[in-house]
Structures are given as C-alpha cells and as structure tokens.
Amino acid sequence: MPSPALKPAYLIHGDDHGAIAERRAGLRALAERLEGGAASVELLEGERGGPGEVASALCAMTLAVGRRVIIADGAERWREDDVAKLLVPVIADMPPDTTLAVFAREDQRAKAPRALHDAIEGAGGQVVQHATVKPWELPKWVREQAERLGLALDAAAARALVAIVGERQQRLLRELEKLALEGDPPAPGGAAQKRAVDEEEIEQRAAHSSERRAYALADALVGGARGEALSAYLQLREQGERLTGLTYVMASRLREALAIALRLQAGESRAEVKRGLRMPSRAADRLIADVVATDPEHLRAALVTLADLELDTRGGAPVRAARRTLAGGDEDTLAVRAIEAVAAGSDADSQRAGAERARGRGRC
C-alpha cells in the first residue's frame, strides 16, 4: 500500500536554485526515513538523468523491499518531444509503491517541458514552483514571511533587512527565523502576539557582523571621523579580518561616495540620489550628508591613498626606484597612516564647507 507521506510523483522547478536544493535534500531525507528505513532511494543525474533513463528506471524490476523513490535531476535540459514520447506513457502507468521526484533548476532559456507538468499532475502528483522574487518585490515578500513567523516588520525594517542581508531569499528567511527565535515565548494560555521589529533593531543586529563593521569603518573615513575609523579598524583586525578585505570595502565605499558627489554636482537632488542607493534609509541619509560635506577631489585623492596602501603592503612598485620608503613595511602601520591621511582630508573638507556656509549666511 502506498505510503501516505509521499505522492506518486513530484516536479519541483523554478529559478530559486537554493530553495530547490533544500527541497531535494528534504525529500531525500524523508524518503530515507520511511517505513523504518526500508525505502530505497535512487539518484538519476547527469548522463543517467534523461527522460529515457528515467523511464527505464521506472519500468525496471527491483528486489528492494518497501517504497521506491527515484530522484531525477536536470529536467530543465529535457526536450519536449523526448518527454512526450519516452516518459509520459510510463508516468501514466506508475508502478505501485513508487515515487518519482523530478527537479528542474530553471533560468530564462532552460525550462522543464510542459508535457512533464501535465504528466505529473495527471498521475496525481504535485508540481511546485520555487521562483525568485524580483528585487523591488523583496521588501513585501520579507514582510509576508515575517508575518508567517510571528513577526511584524514595518516597511522601513523590511527594506533595511534586504539592504543589509542581500537579495538571496534563503538568507533573508534565515535572518527572519533567527529574529523569531529571539522573541519571548507567548504566555501560557494566551494568544500569540506578533513581535514588532523596526528598522533600528535590524540595523543593530547587522552591526554585529564583520561586514557591517567594515562598512562602518569606510563610512567613518568618508565622514572624516578619524578616531572612529581607527577604533573600527583596530577592532576588525583584532577579530582576525584581513587588510586586503578591509581595503576592498573602504575603496568600494569611497567609489560610491564619489559617484554620489558627482551626481549631486550634476544637479540631482538628495532624494533622487537616495532612491538609487541599496542601503537602509538612515544609513543612506548619513552617507549623503557626509558626501555633501566633502569634496570630489578629496574622494579621488583618498582612492589614490588606498591604492598606494594596497601596493605598499604587497612590497611596493615593481621597479625599485619607484617604491615608496614605507613599501613592504608593517601592514598595520601602513593602514593606520592611510586612514589618518584620508580622514584628515575629509575633516578639512568638512571645516571648509562649514566656513563657506557661515560666510554665506553672513552675506545674507
């Protein structure tokens, strides 16, 4: 008698490859637990995973006892005609105590054949699509998943989570699950209350990650906060972060700041610039304010300083005569000097901007 835990057939398809991989692993684990471990699991993939090979496996005699589960991968590469001719007739007459699970990791050009969809559904099976959410739809998706987990995220918190964690749905879901586990359990006998999570909590959680602290270091450089930048650098180095990675983050943020400065200089408003930034709202406001207080030429010079830092920590210029005196020296000393130079330039720009604003107010 067929096990009630599994249907005769499944088609799991879509372009969310991470979710499909998790579903595949979960189905295999479930199959291996069936009937006290008496179920057999067969994997058909690569050259052994075409429609003809799957049909042959379904028709083959087996001495296995218990339910037989056949997992076939790569259906996004199957041809419509091959499926209709070789596999559809076999699926229509599935052997008893057998489950066929077909997985298709799709993209724009590669899709599971339509005939396969129809055959799986016709056999009483289940077709499940795991599709990636469009980037602009992710905040809404995050709020829906949060509600399912007993959380109430406002729109700003959802946007902040996407900006910090990234666009991978599996990572976003893991972060939401961790947030849900950290909440207080409901009182005995009481109705479960959704825990409200705001943007500030999301940012505080992210502040504990090394990547976030690295960006805090980079933001301190843009804002000319010398002490804050040095403190962040030393903390990151104490926890084992490599200078090459930190240099990359600092340079990336400075390039982003330079792009913002040039957009503002070209006449774009702060609101227009902010809409194009992939970061939490308040972080974007802070970065734009820091950029306004500095000068594009300083940002260019800061990028040159970081390029020199990277070159010096790798031994200096290939031609010995072109090497700087500190080339090849202790990398922490070189990094501290570079951070001080960049932050000092930002601070000077900020003071000049403040003085110019004060003179302007006096003339009015």
Per-residue pLDDT tens listing for the chain (364 residues): 344 468 899 999 998 887 888 888 888 888 777 655 556 888 998 878 899 999 999 988 766 667 889 999 999 999 999 999 999 999 999 888 899 999 999 988 899 999 999 999 999 999 998 888 888 889 999 999 899 888 999 999 998 888 877 777 877 888 888 888 876 555 555 555 788 988 888 877 754 555 667 778 888 888 888 888 898 888 888 877 888 888 888 898 899 999 999 999 999 999 999 888 877 777 788 889 999 988 899 999 999 999 988 888 877 767 676 667 666 678 888 889 999 988 886 555 545 444 444 444 343 3
Are the C-beta atoms of 51 and 87 separated by less than 8 Å? Answer: yes
Residues of 218-252 as b/e, b for ≥16 C-beta within 10 angstroms? bbbbbbbbbebbbebbeebbeeebebeebbebbbe
What are the angstrom distances between the C-alpha of 268 and each of 276, 291, 302?
Answer: 11, 14, 23
Question: 190 exposed, middle or buried (CB, 10 Å; 0-12, 13-18, 19+)?
Answer: exposed
pLDDT, one tens digit per residue, over 188-219 is 555 557 889 888 888 777 545 556 677 788 88
| Token code pair at residue 42 | 């067969």
pLDDT attached to residue 116: 96
pLDDT attached to residue 78: 95
pLDDT attached to residue 327: 67
| Token code pair at residue 61 | 């005699």
Per the document, the length of the chain is 364
pLDDT, one tens digit per residue, over 338-360 is 999 888 865 555 454 444 444 44
Rounded to a whole number of angstroms, the CA Rg of the chain reads 29
Q: What phi and psi values does residue 140 have, to the nearest 5 degrees?
A: -65, -45
| Residue 103 parent element (H or E) | strand 98-105
pLDDT attached to residue 286: 87
Are the C-beta atoms of 130 and 11 separated by less than 8 Å? Answer: no
pLDDT attached to residue 164: 76
Domains of the chain, earliest start first? 9-129 (3.40.50.300), 135-183+194-206 (1.10.8.60), 210-353 (1.20.272.10)
pLDDT attached to residue 161: 86
